[in-house]
Structure 1
Amino acid sequence: AKKAMLYGIGISLVGSIPFFFSVSFLLWEVSLIACALVSGGAVASWGCFLKSWTPKNERIKTCADVLIYSNIMMIFINLMAIYLSPFIGLGLSMLALILAGLFTALLPVTKEQIAEVSDAKVSLSLKEPMLFLILFVVIITINSGLMYQVFNPAFEHLTWLTSWYWAVPYIVALIIMRNLPTKVKRSYFLYVGMAMIMTSFIAFMLLDRSAVSYFVVDTLMLGACGIFDLFWWSIIGEMLEHSDQPVKIFGIGLSANVFGVLLGGLLGSSITSLNVSSASVTVIALTVICITLAILPPLNNQLMLLLKSR
């Protein structure tokens, strides 16, 4: 796992260099695909250390910290790229990779971690929960893909605001969820997230495209995304206890996340390509959201029952 992380960071550093130069678009595409591939492997490998060095009841806080600080870094790098220079943003990204490589090199490796990585199969007892998890995560993250295609283009004229505020509600929601008492059932907040997403689409349909409207819509939507993301990350953290393959479990969960965003993006692109009015697009998107969110409660119940039975 440690080697996979170091290789992923190293290849990502090398793959970032072509973007400093006006080379062929094909080389940029190849570099981007290669970086995405190895980065996915590196992040999945981090699941091994999440299981080994974080107590079960503390994993949700560790996952929240990772999501919070990574989004703060993204906001800062994004601001530097927009208001100073894209090359400065790229340079800061590479600096972050270098620091990540240094910290990764300092991570200790135990014999248990080596044994877990060397095993080639996921326990049969986890196959059914994993299927539920994949479907659960894909349904949740379809909403994120829809957001990128429906919300963002409508407010692109507010660059001074969208360049930094886009992730603030997400971070705030993560902080709130992270610091909830352990006795509070976080699954109840799924319903809060559902209500926030539906309200955000209704607000998008009724409000104008001003800065105040963006505050309302983005706060509701990204706050809900923060609730959902931390919830399924915590589910994966629990599943690590039931498997000797934390890398595969974590990787499958992350791939389901990306796949859901991709599906949502494709669906949003298809909707917007119809050239219908903004209200009609929102109604279509809201219908999709209602259908997908209606499936979430039974999926969550089944997943939690399966985990408790193991």
Structure 2
Amino acid sequence: MFVVSFFAIGGAIKSWGYILRVHEKRKQRLKSCAYVLILANLLTIVIEWISKIIPSPFKYILGIACILIGVVFVSLLETEPSKNVFKSEIKCPELYRKSLMLLILFTFTISGISGLMFQVINPSHLNIKNTVSWHGALSYALIILLLYILPPKVRRYHFLHLGFIMIIAAFISFLFREMGKAEFLVLGMLISAALGIFDLFLWSVLGDMLDYADKSSLALGIIITMKVLGGLFGELLGITVSSVGLDKAYITVIALCGVCISLFLLPQLNSVLILLLKDHPYLAYYNNDSGSNVVSLDLNAAIVDNLLTERECEVFHLLLQGKSNREIAETMFISENTVKTHVKNIFRKYKVSSRMELVNAVLNKTS
């Protein structure tokens, strides 16, 4: 029965991904993801609270009622894709595959850390677990609401670092302090808020990446699987550590290793995603020399005539970031002569003779 339930939940999330892709504009997808995460979390709190005050038979009735209400809302959805929604005309399969692979590794690592946290830290205060669950869900929703109401120009990238700081603080506090109920409550809220930051990052980025996917349901299915497997791996690791009776220091070291892996993956994930996505709020755009923000131009808007090959797509993006031929060669792991050949082909196809003329041509085409 549990297998059927989880299969149905996975199917529902994949369906949501399809709707996100065909009915929502790219700039609205972060808001849509925030809506879904906040409302789903608040609905979970309400249902959990109601289920504690009603007899057991009515709990099943409540569950069936929620399913029927969901079916009604699904029937009201539009079946035809919106004409105003961005549709990718240029496919960069190599960039997409690399982005998806890094996102999978990042998702698995973060889910593993969360599974370890809740398996090791929560059992130490089982008597207030329900209170922590309620406050944690509230902090989860509030941090997502904060990220939602921030102006579009405000980059959310540094909130990811804040999430890691919260996780590190939680494990270090668990290591060095015998926590009371109030401290443990704050700890649970910190952990849940950090997970809210990462969840909004994951789903909003994945929502934009679906434009480049031939099979969007497959990409969603893989990410969902990695979230489940990562959480399960973390919980099993926590159970093993607890059963062996290892000291808290070992648990903290294991968790911090996971954080280090995630921090190692994050800049790589960011550098690949900025080649694929246009100006996503969770990504950081920096100039290598000054560290200042640079303008991001959308590949699909710029190359509407499908002029460039897959490799030229990647070189094109790096050119617009102001990278030299040597830097492009190092980034793409190809020779500098190969880069020069790609650059010449791009100039020829755009009928320009310099990088400045190329930028002007792109700006004229996108304006």
- TM-score normalised by the chain length of structure 1: 0.79
The equivalent residue for 1:227 is: 197
Pair 1:276–1:90, CA change in 2 (3 A): farther
User: Which residue among 229, 240, 264 is the counterpart of 1:270?
Assistant: 240
- Given candidates 204, 216, 221, the residue that maps to 2:186 is 216
Structure 1 equivalent of residue 12 of structure 2: 42
Of residues 238, 253, 268, the one that matches 2:223 is 253
Residue 303 of structure 1 aligns to which amino acid in structure 2?
Answer: V
> What is residue 74 of structure 2 aligned with on the other side?
104
- Write the mapping of 1:38-77 to structure 2, written as runs, cut at 5 A: 38-77=8-47
Cα distance in 1 between the residues matched to 2:61 and 2:117: 28
**Partner Cα distance (2:36, 2:185) in 1:** 25
1:294 corresponds to 2:270: no
> Which residue pairs with 2:101 in the alignment?
131
1:188 aligns to 2:176 (yes or no): no
Distance 1:124 1:296, change over 3 A: closer
One-letter amino acid of the counterpart of residue 297, structure 1: L
Contact 2:34–2:148 at 8 Å: present in 1 too?
yes
Q: Distance in 1 between matches of 2:132 and 2:28?
A: 33
Kindly indicate whether the alpha-carbon contact (under 8 Å) linking 1:204 and 1:213 is maintained by their aligned counterparts in 2. Answer: no
Greater relative contact order (Cα 8 A, min sep 6): structure 1 or 2? Answer: 1
SS at match of 1:132: helix
Structure 2 SS opposite 1:238: helix
Tell whether the 8 Å contact from 2:22 to 2:81 is kept in structure 1 after alignment.
Answer: no
Change beyond 3 A, Cα 1:230–1:124: same
Distance 2:13 2:119 in 1: 26
Per the TM alignment, residue 46 of structure 1 is displaced from its structure 2 partner at its CA by 1.7
Give the Cα separation in 2 of the matches to 1:86 and 1:300: 46
- Any idea what SS the aligned residue of 1:196 has? helix
Q: Helix, strand or coil for the counterpart of 2:150?
A: coil
Q: Is this contact kept in 2: 1:137–1:253, CA < 8 A?
A: yes
Q: Alpha carbon RMSD of aligned pairs, Å?
A: 2.4
Which digits, 9 at most, give the CA deviation of each residue in 1:161-204, with x for residues without a partner? 23522311111111111111111121221111111110011122
Asked if the contact 2:132–2:185 (Cα under 8 Å) also holds between the matched residues in 1, the reply is no
Task: Report the Cα offset of residue 239 of structure 1.
Answer: 0.3
Cα deviation, 1:122-145, whole Å, max 9, x if unaligned, reads 984432222122112112221211
150 and 206 in structure 1: CA distance in 2 versus 1, 3 angstrom threshold:
same
Q: Tell me which protein shows more helix as a share of its residues.
A: 1
Q: CA deviation at 1:74?
A: 1.0
* Overall identity of the aligned pairs, in %: 30
**Which residue of structure 2 aligns with residue 175 of structure 1?**
145
Q: 2:147·2:156 contact (CA, 8 Å) conserved in 1?
A: yes
Counterpart Cα distance in 2 of 1:123 and 1:87: 53
Is the 8 Å Cα contact of residues 136 and 299 (structure 1) preserved in structure 2? no
Check the 8 A contact 1:136/1:296 in 2, yes or no: yes
Distance 2:150 2:120 in 1: 32
**Length-normalised TM-score, structure 2:** 0.68
Which residue identity does 2:197 align to in structure 1?
A: I
Aligned-partner SS, 2:127: coil
1:304 aligns with 2:265: no
Runs of 4+ in 1 over 6 A off after TM superposition: none
Where in structure 1 are there 5+ consecutive unaligned residues? 1-30, 114-121
Task: Find the aligned partners of 1:160 and 1:43 in 2 and give their Cα distance.
Answer: 26
Q: How many residues align?
A: 271
Distance 2:257 2:49 in 1: 33
Say which is worse superposed, 234-243 or 57-66, in terms of deviation.
234-243
Q: C-alpha displacement at 1:294, in angstroms? A: 3.1
User: Aligned equivalents of 1:302 and 1:86: distance in 2?
Assistant: 51
Does 1:283 find its partner at 2:252? yes
Q: Deviations over 1:229-271 (max 9, x none)?
A: 1011111011022234332232222222222212211221221
Which is higher, the Rg of structure 1 or of structure 2? 2
Could you list the runs of 5+ residues in structure 2 that have no partner in the other structure? 84-90, 278-313, 318-367
1:159 is displaced (CA, Å) by 4.3
> What is the CA distance between 1:67 and its match in structure 2?
0.7
Question: Which whole-Å CA distance do the structure 2 matches of 1:135 and 1:107 have between them?
Answer: 33
- When structure 1 is superposed on structure 2, of 65-74 and 164-173 the one drifting more is 164-173
